[in-house]
Amino acid sequence: MLQFILIVVLGLSLGNAAGQELRRVDDTELIQLLTGSSNVVVLFNKNNCQRCLEYENVVTKIHPQLEETLSAIVVQSVDSNLVSIYDPSKEPALVFFRRGIPILYHGEINDDEILDFFNDNLEPAVKELSDDNFEHLTQASSGATTGDWFIFFSSAECTVCQRLYAVWESVGGKLKRKLNIARMNSLESGISTAKRLGALASPAFIFLRQGKMYKYTSKQYTPEAFVQFAEKGYLTQSHPEPVPEIPSAVNEFLGPLQSYFKSENITSLATLGIVALVAIIFVTKKVAKIFSAEPVKTKNKSK
């Protein structure tokens, strides 16, 4: 009898353990989940990885809470080809997709920290800026009275930029109570601002603080590196530059011409200008001579 009870208890334990395992999905299934309307938490793992196993144990433990509090489907994807899209450093990576918008978790492998971070970021924290709203929202020229801004300049043609989407959302989630985190398209809706700040080459990152701008030049594209720069790293890792004034319509028109004058082609441009001026004077004199000439008189012929 005792042996039978032990077998039943053991069977129930194994059944509960199996029920607690994270559902594994392949890339096809994962794409279907991510293109749907549900929230999804994905643990990107790989085989023979101790840190991956630690993540799996913690996420397995808390996945009922994740499902309940986030209203999310929780899965894991092993050796996925999609992981580099959301985390350039690859596995292990824990990503929360909020109706398709990803945010990468960064922090300790701790159940409470993971739950708190995702619950605190049910909505995206990154603001979208454009040429139309940049100055109004940032007040960059007047000394950033709306607070500090850390801006990511990206473009559709930039593959690296697309892979930093979840990373930048993570930065926004971490710093949203300290400063403003934003994103701009440097080749489309934000092209004038990108030209103004010298951020046309994407990806580019600029930190605006009290009328000064600090450029992030490091190639460490991790949430930790970005957060450290925004909190205090800008003081030692970058040189402050004044935020350029808003260009006037005249300066917008003359800008390319002024740049050309400053280039090595100034001699040829000056020569061309002189030739054009001489030609205008010559033509003007010819026209004046024609109009000032007396009309030709005709003689009447007798019949």
CA angle 177, 181, 183 (to 5 degrees): 160
pLDDT of 5 > 60? The answer is no
Q: Which residue has the higher pLDDT, 71 or 272?
A: 71
Q: What's the whole-model pTM score? A: 0.75
d(CA 55, CA 39): 20
Instruction: Give the pLDDT band of residue 21 (cuts 50, 70, 90).
Output: confident
User: What pLDDT, in 10s, does the model give residues 246-301?
Assistant: 876 434 444 444 444 444 454 444 544 554 554 566 546 554 554 454 444 444 44
d(CA 197, CA 216): 13
User: Where do the domains of the chain lie, and which CATH numbers do they carry?
Assistant: 17-120 (3.40.30.10), 127-242 (3.40.30.10)
pLDDT at 282: 52
CA angle 120, 44, 97 (to 5 degrees): 35
d(CA 206, CA 194): 10
82: left (phi over 0), alpha (psi -120 to 50) or beta: alpha
Q: What is the CA radius of gyration of the chain?
A: 32
pLDDT of 127 > 90? The answer is yes
Q: Which residue has the higher pLDDT, 237 or 293?
A: 237
For residue 34, what are the CA distances in angstroms to 82, 89, 104, 125, 180? 11, 21, 15, 20, 27
User: What pLDDT, in 10s, does the model give residues 196-213?
Assistant: 999 999 999 999 999 899
